[in-house]
Amino acid sequence: MIATPDQRLDALRGPAPRMHHNARTLAALENNPRCMLRAVLDASGSDKAAIAAHTGYQAPFGQSSFALARGNVFETMVKANGCAELLRVLRETLQLTLPEVGYQDLNDVGGDGRAESRHARTTHLLTAAARGHGSDTLYDHPMLRLVVGGHPVFLEPDLVAFRVDDRFHVVEIKSFPIVDDQAAPAQVRAATTHACAYIIALRAMLAASGIGPESVSDTIVLIAPKDFTNRPTGAFVDARKQVATLTRQLERIQRIGDLVELLPEGLTFDLAADDTGRPQRPAQELAEALDQVPATYYPECLNHCEMAFYCRSRARADGSLDVLGSAVREQLGGVDTVTMALGLARGTLTPNDDQVEMAVALRHAARLRVELHNSPGAAGAAS
Amino acid sequence: MSRVSALAHLEAMEAMEAMPLTRFRHRHLSDRPLVVIPLTMAGEAGTPLAVLVGESRRSSTLLVVGQPRNRDQRFAFAAEFGRIVMGYIDSCRQDRLEIPSRGEERRSRYTSAPQILVPNNGGIKALSDLGRMCRFRRTDGPYPVPAVVPELGKWLTFLVETAEQAGTSMLLPMTGLLGEHWATGQSALEDQNLASLMAWISPPDGLTVQEAMADAENPELCPPAGPATSPQFDNTYLAPAMRRFDTARATGNEQALAEAQADLRGLLSEQLNPTWRLMWTALALLRGVDEAPRAAARFERDCDSFTDYSDYQDSGDARPQPKRDGAIRAARRLSRLERALADFEADMAFDDPYVRADQRSLGEAFAGTVVAAEPDRVDITASNRRVPRPRVTVRTLDPVRLVDDTKLISPTMPPGHKAEIVSIVRDGDASLIMVEVTGGMGRARVPRPGTVPVVEQHIDYLPDPGWRPTPVFPEADQIPWTHAGDPEDSETMDPVAAGQAATEEWGDDN
Amino acid sequence: MTTNDHTGFDPAAAADVATTAILADLADAANRAVVVDSPPGAGKSTLVVRAAGDLVEGDERPIIVAQTNNQVDDLVVRLAEAHPDITIGRLSASSYTTPPTVDALANTIVATRVADLAGCRIVVGTSAKWATVRDETFGWAILDESYQMRSDMLLQIVERFDRGLFVGDPGQLDPFTVVGTERWIGLPHDPTQNGVTVMLEHNPGTPVHRLPVSWRLPTTAAPTVARAFYPFAGFNAGIGEGVRALEFRSAGFGSSVLDETLAMAFATGWALHELPRRHVPRTDSETIQATADLAVRLLDRGAIATCERHRDGRVLDAGDIAIGVAHRDQADLVRAALARTGRPYAGQVAVDTANRLQGREFEVVIVVHPLSGRRDATAFHLEAGRLCVLTSRHRQACIVVAREGITDLLDSHPSTDAVHLSVPAKFPDGWEANQVVLAKLARHRVAA
């Protein structure tokens, strides 16, 4: 019997519980769509951090308790007194005309904090609002649901505002500052991609009731501290491009079955955890399994992927030019390894038909390097 | 990046050691730089946590903010740091030199300029944030601060702005400085980690490059060079120490407060000291590289702009730099930045055969041997004057892409040498480039000896960057209709706005 | 989306309506500025010449600002011919050599100083030259290709005139700076933005017109170019189906893949000459050689082009062909490859980067796809304006040369664009525009 893609994916993960996507991991989809290893690990719900750690390359990602505390304090402050500060920013800073405000806390449903119940209530309230029933305008921590690769993912935006231009707007409350109307681009980008997941999920939820995508705005409202103070300010972020990008990446996930079919039978990343959760699988065997799936390593992966240090060690061991980054690679066309590049440059390797041209250019560059090494007073730097 | 520089990275990767990217050091290095390593608090952008600062390896000062969220402590820190920085800046304002000028106005400039070295670009950002936080502060009204705070704010802003301009040396990140001169076998991203970059150039005694690289990424062994501290450090050590400090302060227990303070200082100094040592080691390495000939002239321009800003500060009506550039200020700055970049690149290419090799591999410059010469050739000008116009043919293996009539200069000929490409003929792998010498031969009818290349001479040519007119923009208070309209678009902040900025509300001064 | 296949659309009438409205706004004293957005080949120069004439009739002494010497010379020739009774001034730098076409004009004066052009009713110069003029002011300026003029350049010349007609193509390449700074992002007067955008930010009531008809692009190209690069405005082809045609004077001897590609382009207006999949540096000789070979093959076989100007057909010569690339070194290598063919016309084929092909027009354009053979797509290579320039210069046909693999490259392209507060996303998006063009080319593919 031939296994279905879902069965194959479950087998890849092993008996460990499935790791679910969240806004952060969905946003990470656009970082490196070419990487098959990442796609397969994500689709199978494998625990990348645990896998990386077991191979000896623990991901160094951690969050400072200061940052967490600051984020929570700021969000609480913005939402205090029925979102008084938030409303001030929406009305004064962003000059939005909001009707009288009804605030709806969706953090739990009468003490029931389960995602399913919260999602049901969110669906009920937001759908009604979209149809013109109900007087709420601010929805605190609604619970959204998005089906990613056949699996439901629950997503929880900070806040959704309605009746801002008669549309739903995702409101992101972040604790990085907006200084003189500018904020750190990397952080704005991260906030935006998270918000895009919410926009897509909101649209999917409303679409189920026949409500069109135009009911959810592509513009995100970002609330953040102003300058070096604790006082919130706001800005609009045009997320049209990121929404389109993330939509594309979600569509790509649907095609994971094609990738999985290419993998060898019996392949698994199961850590064979014992009763205490400690992995028992020999690390070498795990590494061999990982090596069956091609990874696409870029130095930028170090910023966001749990597997990056593992992949870098492989790239280094292979002498892959990926280690050096795209600026260097750009110069070397189809040549993949340092051995090959230097062999062609020094004339110790004979180029194949595809490499003749590159070999000529590299030999010229190598001759210039030799000329420099031999020139008087040369290479003071490294000696 | 060219293929020659790319190859240097490949060589480094193969040899597991850094390879030189330049023949010279293209930045002036001060005999007495001020090394500054700022740390900021996670989650609170621009909030200073500590700084290690000093003018020599053996004398550093550690300043710590016990509770960075507290406004008073923050500005007490700024004042203390400000006194150190201003003391340093004042020490550069001792001697002035008259500059001979043709204009009526006599000018003079300081013979020295400050040089602040930080570990990385993040360090510059931290100083930029601190400058922004301090420069609008008032010494009177609500929340007054000592005068040195806004003064520090203005000077830091000035220095950060010069750092945006190519070729300047008043505020430099060490990683950038090293990366300009050495190629490593890792990516540009990893080169931003000072310890990691230094692992390639000069690993600690007894360690291989591989070992040093691994250590560099382990925050236990190599604390980050800032401005962010490692999350593990924050959670395990800093947060508890800060809580003890807060408690001691709240209860007014002097002894506990002193102990808590000492604890904090101990912790942060442990985080900062390894980077401190790296900074001075890196500096010593850089000092070992010869300074490029044209770096001196760039340093004089630094002294000029330092003098100008200093005189403006002394003029009495010195205002803080605006939050954002107005239309005119922005246009002027863009022009200045573009010009500085073009000049710096041209200077480096002229001075440095390594940089020229990059251009040569791209076909934008060439070097070769003179294979034929017509040293006695003359032209008759429109005014019927006979002028020497010798022609020489250079044989080069460089993949030249320059076109006929390109104006050339040569770093291997006496100063003032100018030439133009007459023709380029391919000869197998080589190119035969005929150039006509048009300048630098003296005023006589016969070229001065040594000013015309001779057969078998090796010669380098590169395109003459030429001269560009300085753009003229409207005066800052007369913004034309295409660029005016926004009331906030004023070149300098009006007093009301400045007052508001000074009393920016602070939420939790706990 | 507008296309010209719905009957009842009269391009000439639509263009007339637009022109009349523009000239009316120009005559309205309430307008300090008028903007005209012009898609490729929509009669921008014709409008400039006509508007200048109108202004002179209204007793104005307009100046015209263009961005390059070539553009200025072209305008001077057209102005002198359209207005034989007016003297045209050509303001130039001292290093400028007057081309024969301008030299031959009886009613044109060339001078380096405005004072020497006192008798001229219209004075034309580059923006760089106008930036050196002091103290003289004029009533109206017509700023051509103004979307390619940086806002800081506008700031240097704006004091020379009271009112401005800003004409340009918003779909072409944006101006840029080599200085990497985010300092001015979000400011209405960002000096790295184009002059039109900045002027509009500060003068929100300014009338903005759009020329609705491309007289250059054939019916085969207009819908694709409009959809890819002008998704909101759109435009129609002015020349109906069947008016433009290409045929060979001689039959292909032997059937080479070059002939196959040319046949595809001649029959359908598009061809994708697709080389085998391979990661290559941008100087890849096979790609470079293919573009040169295609041009040479086309000219050697002799192509007869029929169009509204030449109803009985005309044999194309090298001046009718352009080869467009992304990088200067590619252009140099294509020129070298053409020279190696030894054909006497080799130097006549226009070979240039997208930047320098802006505003120009040819019968057949051969393009090296900016993404060909690349491992990754940078913002530079994805930029919509670049592909727009390259695929919208032709009156008859466009041939794109590329290595196989661009589809996969786009599919797996990581999204890393910076996101900024309160700055509208730029459209068209380079990725989307590339997809539209690639989808079109897929139906015109010839495997090489």
pLDDT tens column, B17-47: 999 999 999 999 999 999 999 999 988 777 8
Chain A residues with beta carbon closer than 8 angstroms to that of B234: 64-66
- The minimal CB distance from B337 to the residues C154, C156, C179 is found for C179
Which pair of structure tokens corresponds to residue A208?
């189920």
**Could you tell me if C206 and C227 lie in one domain?**
no
| pLDDT at residue C277, rounded to an integer | 94
What's chain C's average pLDDT?
Answer: 93
Across the interface, whether the CB atoms of A241 and C280 are under 8 A apart is answered no
Chain A residues with beta carbon closer than 8 angstroms to that of B187: 299, 323-325
**Could you tell me if C383 and C247 lie in one domain?**
yes
| pLDDT at residue A95, rounded to an integer | 84
Please give the average per-residue pLDDT across C71-100, as a whole number: 94
In angstroms, rounded to a whole number, what is the distance separating the alpha carbons of residues C81 and C49?
10
In angstroms, rounded to a whole number, what is the distance separating the alpha carbons of residues A189 and A206?
26
What does C135-150 look like in DSSP terms, one character per residue? S--EEEEEETTGGGSB
pLDDT band of residue C320 (cuts 50, 70, 90) is very high
The more confidently predicted of residues B467 and B207 is B207
Chain A residues with beta carbon closer than 8 angstroms to that of C425: 238-241
Residues 109-128 of C with CB under 8 A from A: none
Q: Taking chain A, what is the end-to-end CA distance rounded to the nearest angstrom?
A: 65
Q: CB of B401 within 8 Å of any CB in chain C? A: yes
- In a domain, residue C336? The reply is yes
For A303-345, the pLDDT digits (tens) are 989 999 999 999 999 999 999 999 999 899 889 999 999 999 9
State which residues of chain A have pLDDT below 50.
378-383
- In a domain, residue A312? The reply is no
Q: CB of C204 within 8 Å of any CB in chain A? A: no
How far does Cα A200 stand from its chain's mean position? 15
Q: H or E stretch including A74?
A: helix A65-88
Which pair of structure tokens corresponds to residue B18?
């850094």
Q: H or E stretch including C33?
A: strand C33-37
Taking a C-beta distance cutoff of 8 angstroms, is the pair B400, B461 a contact? no
| pLDDT at residue C254, rounded to an integer | 62
- The minimal CB distance from C280 to the residues A181, A185, A334 is found for A334
The domain of C365 spans 222-447
- In a domain, residue C2? The reply is no
Q: Is a pLDDT exceeding 50 seen at residue B148?
A: yes
Across the interface, whether the CB atoms of A364 and B8 are under 8 A apart is answered no
In angstroms, rounded to a whole number, what is the distance separating the alpha carbons of residues B424 and B433?
5
Q: Is a pLDDT exceeding 70 seen at residue B488?
A: no
**Could you tell me if C29 and C161 lie in one domain?**
yes
Across the interface, whether the CB atoms of B19 and A70 are under 8 A apart is answered no
Chain C residues with beta carbon closer than 8 angstroms to that of B401: 328-329, 332-333
Q: Which of A67, A40, A266, A265 is nearest to A177 (CA)?
A: A67
Chain C residues with beta carbon closer than 8 angstroms to that of A241: 415, 417, 425, 429
- The minimal CB distance from B483 to the residues C33, C155, C184 is found for C155
- In a domain, residue A274? The reply is yes
Which residues sit opposite B462 in a β-bridge? B409
Percent of chain C with pLDDT over 70: 97
For B90-103, the pLDDT digits (tens) are 999 999 998 877 66
Across the interface, whether the CB atoms of B185 and A323 are under 8 A apart is answered yes
Q: CB of C413 within 8 Å of any CB in chain A? A: yes
- In a domain, residue C4? The reply is no
Tally C-beta pairs within 8 A across A and C: 83
**Could you tell me if A120 and A194 lie in one domain?**
yes
**Could you tell me if A181 and A98 lie in one domain?**
yes
**Could you tell me if C261 and C188 lie in one domain?**
no
Residue C2: HSE in the Cβ half-sphere, 13 Å Cα cutoff: 18
Residues in chain C, total: 448
| pLDDT at residue B152, rounded to an integer | 97
Determine the number of helices (DSSP H) and then strands (DSSP E) in chain B.
Answer: 15, 17
Which pair of structure tokens corresponds to residue B411?
């770093």
Chain B residues with beta carbon closer than 8 angstroms to that of A370: none
- In a domain, residue A269? The reply is yes
CB contact set of B509 (below 8 Å; sequence gap of 6+): B69, B70, B71, B72
In angstroms, rounded to a whole number, what is the distance separating the alpha carbons of residues B81 and B67?
16
CB contact set of B131 (below 8 Å; sequence gap of 6+): B152, B153, B154, B155, B156, B157, B159, B160
| pLDDT at residue C100, rounded to an integer | 92
Total domains in the fold of chain A: 3
Chain C residues with beta carbon closer than 8 angstroms to that of A181: 186, 421-422
**Could you tell me if C172 and C103 lie in one domain?**
yes
Across the interface, whether the CB atoms of A331 and B3 are under 8 A apart is answered yes
Other CB atoms within 10 Å distance of the CB of residue C173: 21
SS3 for B206-238 is: CCCHHHHHHHHCCCCCCCCCCCCCCHHHHHHHH
Taking a C-beta distance cutoff of 8 angstroms, is the pair C290, C448 a contact? yes
Tally C-beta pairs within 8 A across B and C: 97
In angstroms, rounded to a whole number, what is the distance separating the alpha carbons of residues B227 and B74?
16
Across the interface, whether the CB atoms of A182 and C278 are under 8 A apart is answered no
**Could you tell me if C323 and C429 lie in one domain?**
yes
**Could you tell me if A35 and A165 lie in one domain?**
no
Residue at a domain's end among C182, C213, C244: C213
**Could you tell me if C67 and C143 lie in one domain?**
yes
Q: Three-state SS for C213?
A: strand
Chain A residues with beta carbon closer than 8 angstroms to that of B8: 369
Q: Is a pLDDT exceeding 80 seen at residue B502?
A: no
Q: Is a pLDDT exceeding 60 seen at residue C2?
A: no
**Could you tell me if A194 and A233 lie in one domain?**
yes
CA-nearest residue of chain B to C185?
B324
CA-nearest residue of chain C to B425?
C336
Would the ipTM clear 0.95, i.e. be above it? no
**Could you tell me if A43 and A184 lie in one domain?**
no
CA-nearest residue of chain C to A33?
C412
**Could you tell me if A131 and A240 lie in one domain?**
yes
Mutation target to probe the C interface, by most C beta carbons within 10 A, among A181, A233, A303 is A181
Other CB atoms within 10 Å distance of the CB of residue C229: 26
Q: Which of A125-139, B174-188, C80-94, C95-109 has the lowest mean pLDDT?
A: A125-139
Across the interface, whether the CB atoms of A331 and C281 are under 8 A apart is answered yes
**Could you tell me if C47 and C80 lie in one domain?**
yes
Q: Is a pLDDT exceeding 50 seen at residue B508?
A: no
Please give the average per-residue pLDDT across B462-490, as a whole number: 82
- The minimal CB distance from A222 to the residues C376, C421, C427 is found for C421
Q: Is a pLDDT exceeding 90 seen at residue C245?
A: yes
- The minimal CB distance from C154 to the residues B341, B362, B482 is found for B482
- In a domain, residue A217? The reply is yes
Residues 38-77 of B with CB under 8 A from A: 41-47
**Could you tell me if A358 and A227 lie in one domain?**
no
pLDDT band of residue C4 (cuts 50, 70, 90) is very low
| pLDDT at residue B507, rounded to an integer | 35
- The minimal CB distance from A326 to the residues C376, C411, C422 is found for C376
Determine the distance in angstroms separating the CA of A67 from the nearest CA of chain C, rounded to an integer: 22
- In a domain, residue C196? The reply is yes
**Could you tell me if C355 and C316 lie in one domain?**
yes
**Could you tell me if A148 and A242 lie in one domain?**
yes
Q: H or E stretch including B74?
A: helix B71-91
- In a domain, residue A157? The reply is yes
Mutation target to probe the A interface, by most A beta carbons within 10 A, among C232, C416, C421 is C421
Chain B residues with beta carbon closer than 8 angstroms to that of C178: 338, 341
**Could you tell me if C48 and C194 lie in one domain?**
yes
pLDDT band of residue C18 (cuts 50, 70, 90) is very high
**Could you tell me if A226 and A344 lie in one domain?**
no
| pLDDT at residue A259, rounded to an integer | 84
- The minimal CB distance from B188 to the residues A175, A327, A339 is found for A327
The domain of A222 spans 65-250
**Could you tell me if A81 and A47 lie in one domain?**
no
Which pair of structure tokens corresponds to residue A20?
């679910």
Q: CB of B366 within 8 Å of any CB in chain A? A: no
**Could you tell me if A71 and A219 lie in one domain?**
yes
Beta strands in B32-125 (DSSP E): 34-40, 48-56, 59-64, 96-99, 107-110, 116-118
Q: Which of A65, A8, C121, C326 is nearest to B232 (CA)?
A: A65
| Cis peptide bond upstream of B227, omega within 30 | yes
- In a domain, residue C111? The reply is yes
| pLDDT at residue C32, rounded to an integer | 95
| pLDDT at residue B491, rounded to an integer | 42
Chain B residues with beta carbon closer than 8 angstroms to that of C332: 363, 401
For B290-302, the pLDDT digits (tens) are 999 999 999 999 9
For B396-409, the pLDDT digits (tens) are 999 998 988 999 99
| pLDDT at residue A268, rounded to an integer | 94
- The minimal CB distance from A181 to the residues C280, C373, C421 is found for C421
**Could you tell me if C93 and C236 lie in one domain?**
no
Taking a C-beta distance cutoff of 8 angstroms, is the pair B138, B499 a contact? yes
CATH number of the domain where residue A230 is located: 3.90.320
In angstroms, the Cα distances linking C340 to B208, B422, C317, C335 are: 52, 20, 18, 9
Please give the average per-residue pLDDT across B142-169, as a whole number: 96
In angstroms, rounded to a whole number, what is the distance separating the alpha carbons of residues A307 and B119?
28
| pLDDT at residue A382, rounded to an integer | 41
- In a domain, residue A301? The reply is no
Neighbours of chain C (3+ CB pairs under 8 A): A, B
SS3 content of chain B, % helix, strand, coil (to 5): 40, 20, 40
Taking a C-beta distance cutoff of 8 angstroms, is the pair C302, C318 a contact? no
Mutation target to probe the C interface, by most C beta carbons within 10 A, among A182, A253, A258, A259 is A182
**Could you tell me if C71 and C92 lie in one domain?**
yes
- The minimal CB distance from A362 to the residues B3, B190, B354 is found for B3
Taking a C-beta distance cutoff of 8 angstroms, is the pair C25, C33 a contact? no
Q: Which of B431, B433, B413 is nearest to B423 (CA)?
A: B433
State which amino acid sits at residue B97.
Answer: L
Across the interface, whether the CB atoms of B10 and A379 are under 8 A apart is answered no
In angstroms, rounded to a whole number, what is the distance separating the alpha carbons of residues A119 and A107?
10
| Cis peptide bond upstream of B119, omega within 30 | no
Q: CB of A63 within 8 Å of any CB in chain B? A: yes
In angstroms, rounded to a whole number, what is the distance separating the alpha carbons of residues A155 and A173?
15
* Dihedral Cα B239, B244, B250, B254, nearest 10 deg: -140
Chain C residues with beta carbon closer than 8 angstroms to that of A184: none
The more confidently predicted of residues A194 and C250 is A194
Total domains in the fold of chain C: 2
What's chain B's average pLDDT?
Answer: 91
CA-nearest residue of chain A to B230?
A64
Mark residue B203 as left, alpha or beta (left: phi above 0; alpha: psi -120 to 50; beta: remaining). Answer: beta
Q: Work out the burial of residue B142: count CB atoms within 10 Å of its CB; fewer than 13 is exposed, 13-18 middle, 19 or more buried.
A: exposed
Determine the distance in angstroms separating the CA of C284 from the nearest CA of chain B, rounded to an integer: 14
- In a domain, residue C121? The reply is yes
In angstroms, rounded to a whole number, what is the distance separating the alpha carbons of residues A301 and B189?
10
pLDDT band of residue C418 (cuts 50, 70, 90) is confident
Q: H or E stretch including C16?
A: helix C11-27
pLDDT band of residue C424 (cuts 50, 70, 90) is confident
**Could you tell me if A18 and A160 lie in one domain?**
no
Taking a C-beta distance cutoff of 8 angstroms, is the pair C113, C89 a contact? no
CA-nearest residue of chain A to C409?
A34
For B48-83, the pLDDT digits (tens) are 999 999 999 999 999 999 888 888 999 999 999 999
| pLDDT at residue A75, rounded to an integer | 93
